[in-house]
Chains A and B, each alone.
Chain A
Amino acid sequence: MKELLVERLSKIYFDPDRGERIAALEEVSLRIAPGEFVAVVGPSGCGKSTLLNLIAGFLEPTSGRILLDGRPVRGPGPDRGVVFQSYALFPWKTVLENVAFGPRMRGLPKAECHAKAMRYLELVGLAHVAHRYPRELSGGMQQRVGVVRALANEPEILLMDEPFAAVDAQTRMTLQEELARIYEERRPTILFVTHDVNEAVFLADRVLLLSKGRLREEIPVPIARPRRWPRLVEDDDFKALVARTLSAVRAA
């Protein structure tokens, strides 16, 4: 597991329709240690997706640097796994083939890829739908597949862009607990982007506040793991941290 370093990252979009320049991200710097879970919160339009897409290599920065394990990031690659809000599962592949995709791209033998994919599906209790197609699954199940597809490729860092925003509230809490459990068991490095303060505080070791393209504040979350909702909804520290983060978001 390697460290991620972002140095004075800026992204300026040009909107040709309006002939305007939009500074989506300005001089953002951050560091994520190996095995750390960091959440970035901020209102819609503050630049969260831009930050994530730059790190994923889907976009070119206007200025600044992104280093993974000391090496500059150029374009997308299997060292950075991405989980999308829209799941982005391949509809023409079965659940198993979706999860096996990353290992197959690395040239592992097919049988080995499928065995590995199966192990990862078991991790989220989805082995029984391995041979179904994504559209036959509920949104919550599809996103579980999205998460293990990224995990099965064993990336250095997991990048997640509002992955649970499209499912109902009940399922969302289950998915959050499952992600917390996976993190507690395996300690992957995670950068998680969301507009939901509760979600950010529940999941992360550290919450970064993004507003109008700038990082405003950093809020450590010293809450013990394992984290589960029944305990945390009663927890005064959790409630106080959420309240504090919420007011910071509003003030920013």
Chain B
Amino acid sequence: MTASAEPVRAHRRARTGAIVQAALPFVLLLLLWQGLVAGLQVSPLVFPSLSAVVRAAGQGLRDGSLFLHLGASLARVAIGTAIALLLAVPLGMAMGVSRAVAAFFTPLLRFFSVLAGIAWIPIATLWFGYGFGAIVFVIFNAVFFVVAYNTLLGVATIPVELRRAAASLGARRWSMVREVLLPGALPNIVTGIRTGLGFAWRALIAAEMIATSTGLGYMLFLARDFYRTEVIVLGMVLVGCTWLALDRLLLAPLERRTIERWGVVRGA
């Protein structure tokens, strides 16, 4: 054993330990579930057995319906988020540059951030009908206000010396945005995206129950009509797992890296 292998091993051991610790409660929950449903002879109309859910998952994988619903949900989130970012970041930047723009929009942003997502569903279905447009609009709303607000926050936290340094090196308005404000605000922007997507994901499931014919939310809601509790529970597990995967494997690492790479180290 070499000396340099030791820290790597210790690191791996710590990682494995963390994974075991995170998984353990779920394993116990599954055992409890299986035990209770079998022991109390719970009717499948009230709550499914673990094995029924696993069978439903197998069925969904074979006929492709799981991929259809999951894919539909993810595509809506991606499109709604993309549109929101394209508009929110420039607005946040404009607010960071101009005090007047910031003063005008800040109260509006605060108000609409509270409405995040779900409250927009009724009006969205009136405007866009029951389908793609309404859901993308709901996602857009969940992400837009949070990201715009965080962009503004990010610009505000850039030390004034950095702006002054850039200005006295000859940076005009556009260079200031591109070279200082955008990179300086990036950690906050990514945090905003992560928070906004959290809202968006919850809002998406709610919206899909009402306003569409595909997606995880729809899958849940449709199963209820047929008393298919195993499909309902499968859908719930998928909603949770998909978000955890998205957050842990994509958003959290992205946020960490942005902060490491772009974060302003305060106090020299």
Contacts and interface: CB of A to CB of B under 8 A. Distances in A.
B175 A82 contact: no
B265 A88 contact: no
Contacts of A90: 162, 165-166, 179-180, 183
Interface in A27-86: 56-58, 75-78, 80-82, 84-86
A219 B236 CA distance: 79
A98 to B, nearest CB: 9
Interface string B225-247: 00000000000000000000000
Interface string B166-180: 111111100100011
Nearest to B184: A92
A91 B164 CA distance: 15
Contacts of B161: 84, 86, 88
A59 to B, nearest CB: 10
Given A82-B168, A102-B170, A149-B169, A91 B180 contact: no
Nearest to A135: B265
Contact of A91 (B166, B169, B264): B264
A77 B170 contact: yes
Contacts of B46: none
Interface in A131-180: 135, 139, 142, 149-150, 153, 166
Chain B interface SS verdict (over half): helix
B172 to A, nearest CB: 8
A128 B196 CA distance: 43
A21 interface: no
Nearest to B182: A92
Contacts of A85: 268
Interface size class of B (residues with CB under 8 A): 20 to 34
A90 B168 CA distance: 13
Given A88-B161, A91-B262, A142-B268, A57 B168 contact: yes
Nearest to A167: B268
Most buried by A among B166, B168, B186: B168
B268 A56 contact: no
B268 A78 contact: no
Nearest to B169: A102
A84 B262 contact: no
Given A78-B170, A105-B175, 15 more contacts: A56-B164, A76-B164, A77-B168, A82-B165, A84-B161, A84-B164, A86-B267, A88-B159, A89-B165, A91-B264, A92-B262, A102-B170, A105-B171, A105-B172, A135-B265
Q: Which 7 A-B pairs have the closest CB atoms?
A: A78-B170, A105-B170, A88-B161, A76-B167, A102-B169, A88-B165, A76-B168
7 contacts: A80-B168, A87-B268, A92-B183, A102-B169, A135-B265, A149-B169, A166-B268
